[in-house]
Structure 1
């Protein structure tokens, strides 16, 4: 179907709608699809690619290139199973084609055509508020009962001297490379930096990762250490506590001036990736005209995701807070309940899982140990179980890692951290436990298939009762009862 893209010189056409969504990423598309299928009239503005950052520059391509890297790593390490394979030959052009093919396979689900077939009016243009109830763009003027801003975020570019005149990549451009970087320099040791460091190292590139604080500083220290050891073992050079002071270079050669422990050093590479955080996409929206408060972190919202303009919601990355695709999707469900059904709905972020998809993976939900200890002190009990005590992990030789569960003495689960094989899948159990306020005993008494990695969580939960079950008091009771035959 033909998309609405009239000549900008024409007079604006007026459209009325129940909901106007600004941004065609995961959150915006979820609102648009849900609302139109429930009978609401919906207009959707998207100035870039449908599917947003997740499909085109983030979750999907990063997991696709990670999968390619894992395939190469598997070939290199097959000898541990008694299988001899030749060293993998990486054709980076074909890796690029693989990434693009994965994106192309998902694109139809997020396409303009699909949403127009659902009944959404799609306008491929920048949307700008002209007043509190009106948005204009692409030759159209839209008045709606409710608006949803879902414009996401982009790579934050730090104020490093020389960076503006040197070539650099972000997550929006690195997947365009058709030739493998000789030496990739990465500024930022968060999830994006770690994932792309591992992927490119596994595919044969030299990689240096520079982090101003510590690797994965927002995660559990012990869990981050497992990943730190892994990255070093595969050959990634790590510079933690190092600040990039200056950048210089031209196409194919980059030099960083780095300060670490009070000393200056130069780090040379062929390509530079900036992965130092995210910034909300709020430019061009005309938020002031709509009376919408915002700051550096994004648009200010209340617990129901409403902005200071009560007719306007903001969801996902642009609303600040947790920047994950699954959070944007969750926010979409909150908005639909509130905007369409006038039901009181508030976002609860206490059980939002997060995963760094390296191998081993690092996953977390709820409170970190340091957070739980600060809040609950001596009432806290930390349950821990290592992968090396799991038979499936031993069979597959993936024994690096552990689970750590934070509980209170009454069995309430506060948080869980898992680092190891398939941690992103294993964390889902603990997400449900925390969200549904299930006590630790339910996990401990569950029956888990053998041999699976899922037993690791059950064993950790069971350890909650170890001190009681094997205490001198229980021994006395057993001996007493045994006397009666």
Structure 2
């Protein structure tokens, strides 16, 4: 949809083929309903924590049917923004059906044949199901189907420790379920380990049993419940689960497109992914890919890629989307957000030629007032102060990272952050404090101290 809307804004003729509900995974079964569930769970947790503010309350009484109704209401409220009528009003022709390439320059959708100068594959993602002995013999939830649940889950075992698995695990724990999460590797791979550890500690403190580097090796069907066999280190353990959630990260949904008829090849490095140029062009020069189909994992990545592809196709500007300019957000509590390089990736790219500046939420007045002092912000810069990246774990992390995103896009260095006039008290002050901390480090340099001393002598 992003490609269609941007292309129409430039006056291009656009046909959009969709076999399911417009809006894709994000609206129907992905980010939007998941965040609505997370929001409901946050209210339950707020009831539990009211005593610290002098507000006594019993444990929350959760009505799962009404929680589900809330999720549906959110989806329905946003649906008009993704409706065919809205796209039609913009001048986009919407064709319902499954698209298949018939040659390098045409696709079919039902009985309709569409020939075009350029094509963009934006088919979203599918949910891979791991090959675990016994899994096919029991009912299980996926990260999509669990959003239709309307009852309490006694003991939910989550398989997958990525962002979505952790978000859903914490949400269900807050809604009153016993939750165990097993991940065959580290939790939140690719995120700053220092920041991830803060989020994981909080989730564990709320009762989620986290098992990193633990492989689920078998599922045992039972007359009552489900047995889950987990290889945890050198020991094998058996969990008694009432329900299982498969929360593996999504993979590009490319099946059934007849890509070979269009001369489109898959990546040699990973046959599940398309072979793409830096400008997102496939091995057929007329065909591009964006979003999940291009290996992206977020709506914001898809939007960035859509703008780049439209500029390439319509304006002849070879635009190469920069994944380091796309924020990465985990909607747990505390929220975790990053942009650009984190400390680990900066060390890989720059060796020792970078600086890390930190500021704790415990030193922020707004966080103190809200008793939300468990967060940390990190600013990654080169020696001159150019911002290479930033990461935040804590309340409002996504909004804070948006400030750093704007600074990076505008070429503003760490010194300029200190000049931001932020409301008081606010979490935005953390960005100001990071800028001031960077300046303090600069002021300690001998050459700058000599200049200050000379300036004093000169009056």
Report the TM-score, using the length of structure 2 for normalisation: 0.94
Residues 449/137 of structure 1: CA separation in 2 closer, same or farther (3 Å cut) = same
Identify if the C-alpha distance between structure 1 residues 475 and 114 changes in structure 2 by more than 3 Å, giving closer, same or farther.
closer
Is the Cα–Cα contact under 8 Å of residues 183 and 271 in structure 1 kept in the other structure? yes
Q: Tell me the residue number matched to 1:7.
A: none
Q: Is 1:30 the counterpart of 2:5 in the alignment? A: no
- Report the 3-state secondary structure (helix = DSSP H, G, I; strand = E; otherwise coil) of the residue aligned with 2:276: coil
**Contact 2:417–2:434 under 8 Å retained in 1:** no
CA distance in 2, matches of 1:206, 1:217: 24
Structure 1, unpaired ranges of 5+: 1-28
The residue number in structure 2 matching 1:461 is 435
Q: Could you say if the C-alpha distance between residues 39 and 266 of structure 1 is closer, same or farther in structure 2, counting changes exceeding 3 Å? A: same
Mapped contact 1:411–1:440 kept (Cα < 8 A): yes
**Which residue, 104, 108, 112 being the options, matches 1:140?**
112
Deviation of 1:361 after TM superposition, in Å, equals 0.4
Question: What is the root-mean-square deviation in Å for CA atoms of aligned residues?
Answer: 2.1
Aligned to 1:302: 277
State the distance in 1 between where 2:107 and 2:445 align.
68
Following superposition of structure 1 onto structure 2, how do residues 46-445 of structure 1 map, counting pairs within 5 Å? 46-249=18-221, 253-295=225-267, 296-320=271-295, 322-445=296-419
Moved over 4 A (4+): 470-485
Secondary structure, aligned partner of 2:55 = coil
Q: What residue ranges of structure 2 are gaps of 5+ in the alignment?
A: none
Q: Which whole-Å CA distance do the structure 1 matches of 2:166 and 2:156 have between them?
A: 12
Contact 1:157–1:276 under 8 Å retained in 2 = yes
For the 8 Å contact 2:203–2:333, the answer to whether it is kept is no
How far apart are residue 473 of structure 1 and its match? 8.3
Q: Deviations over 1:8-56 (max 9, x none)?
A: xxxxxxxxxxxxxxxxxxxxx1122232344332221111221110001
Distance 1:205 1:104 in 2: 27
1:470 positional shift: 5.6
In structure 1, C-alpha distance between the alignment counterparts of 2:26 and 2:442, rounded to whole Å = 47
1: distance between equivalents of 2:126 and 2:349?
34
Whole-Å separation in 2 of the counterparts to 1:72 and 1:31: 39
Q: 1:84 to 1:293 in 2, by over 3 A?
A: same
Q: Is the 8 Å Cα contact of residues 350 and 435 (structure 1) preserved in structure 2?
A: no
Aligned to 1:449: 423
C-alpha separation between the residues in 2 aligned to 1:297 and 1:348?
22
Contact persistence 1:169–1:272 (CA under 8 A): yes
Aligned residues: 456
- Work out whether residues 167 and 249 of structure 1, in 8 Å CA contact, stay in contact via their aligned partners in 2: no
* Counterparts of 2:351 and 2:290, CA distance in 1: 34
Q: CA deviation at 1:305?
A: 1.5
Give the 3 Å change call, closer, same or farther, for CA 479–108 of structure 1 in structure 2: closer
Instruction: Give the secondary structure class of the aligned counterpart of 2:73.
Output: helix
Q: Secondary structure at the match of 2:200?
A: helix
Q: Does structure 2 retain, via aligned residues, the 8 Å contact 1:167–1:251?
A: no
1:476 to partner: Cα distance: 8.4
Change in Cα spacing, 1:84 to 1:300, as seen in structure 2 (3 Å) is same
1:54-92 C-alpha deviation (Å, 9 max, x unpaired): 001111001100000000111110111112233211100
User: Could you tell me how far 1:353 is from its partner in structure 2?
Assistant: 0.7
Cα distance 1:174–1:477, how it changes in 2: closer, same or farther (>3 A)?
same
